[in-house]
């Protein structure tokens, strides 16, 4: 096994270097995750911390009902962030609802091949197409006819 050159640093060395820019990003991400865990004690749903800017904590949830719960518990959540020693000063909450993407459903059956007559029409039409890629695709489709 080959040795790692001394000029290369391991990821934990880069992230823990207090003079590096990645250290600041890493520590902010850790703080946001800590805030998220505090908030999830009050709102037992999918709530994510998006950002903190100008003493406003921006939260994202996938449900309007959860957003309403957060709004009603706003004072408790702000007090909890202060009580648990969060490094950021939070005075307001902003809640956004972002619905989850629906699952992509794959076709439940195999595609129906063209009939023999339609396959012949596709092959005939392909002869008059100038675009080479389209012509080739039409010829391949015509070969699938039954």
Domain coverage including residue 118: 110-146
Q: Which of 61-65, 84-88, 120-124 has the lowest mean pLDDT?
A: 84-88
Confidence of residue 86 (pLDDT cuts 50, 70, 90): low
Q: Are 115 and 90 in a shared domain?
A: no
Q: Are 146 and 84 in a shared domain?
A: no
Q: Are 72 and 116 in a shared domain?
A: no
Q: Are 18 and 51 in a shared domain?
A: yes
Q: Are 70 and 132 in a shared domain?
A: no
* Residue percentage of the chain with pLDDT more than 70: 94
Q: Are 82 and 40 in a shared domain?
A: yes
Q: CATH no. for residue 69?
A: 3.30.300
Q: Does residue 104 sit within a domain?
A: no
Q: Are 116 and 76 in a shared domain?
A: no
Q: Does residue 105 sit within a domain?
A: no
**How many domains is the chain partitioned into structurally?**
2
Q: Are 31 and 88 in a shared domain?
A: yes
pLDDT in tens, 18-60: 777 777 788 788 888 888 888 888 777 788 888 888 889 899 9
Q: Does residue 57 sit within a domain?
A: yes
Q: Are 47 and 118 in a shared domain?
A: no
> Which residues, at least 6 apart from 82, have a Cβ–Cβ distance to it below 8 Å?
90
């Amino acid at each position: 096994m080959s040795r790692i050159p001394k000029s290369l640093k391991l990821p934990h060395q880069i992230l823990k270097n207090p003079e590096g820019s990645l250290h600041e990003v890493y520590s902010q991400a850790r703080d946001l995750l800590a805030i998220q865990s505090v908030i999830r004690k009050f709102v037992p749903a999918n709530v994510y911390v998006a950002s903190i800017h100008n003493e406003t904590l921006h939260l994202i949830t996938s449900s309007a009902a959860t957003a309403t719960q957060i709004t009603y518990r706003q004072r408790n959540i702000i007090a909890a962030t202060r009580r648990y020693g969060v490094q950021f000063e939070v005075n307001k909450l902003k809640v956004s609802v972002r619905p989850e993407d629906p699952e992509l459903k794959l076709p439940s059956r195999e595609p129906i091949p063209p009939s023999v007559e339609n396959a012949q029409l596709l092959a005939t039409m392909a002869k008059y197409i100038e675009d080479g890629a389209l012509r080739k695709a039409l010829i391949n489709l015509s070969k699938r006819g039954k």
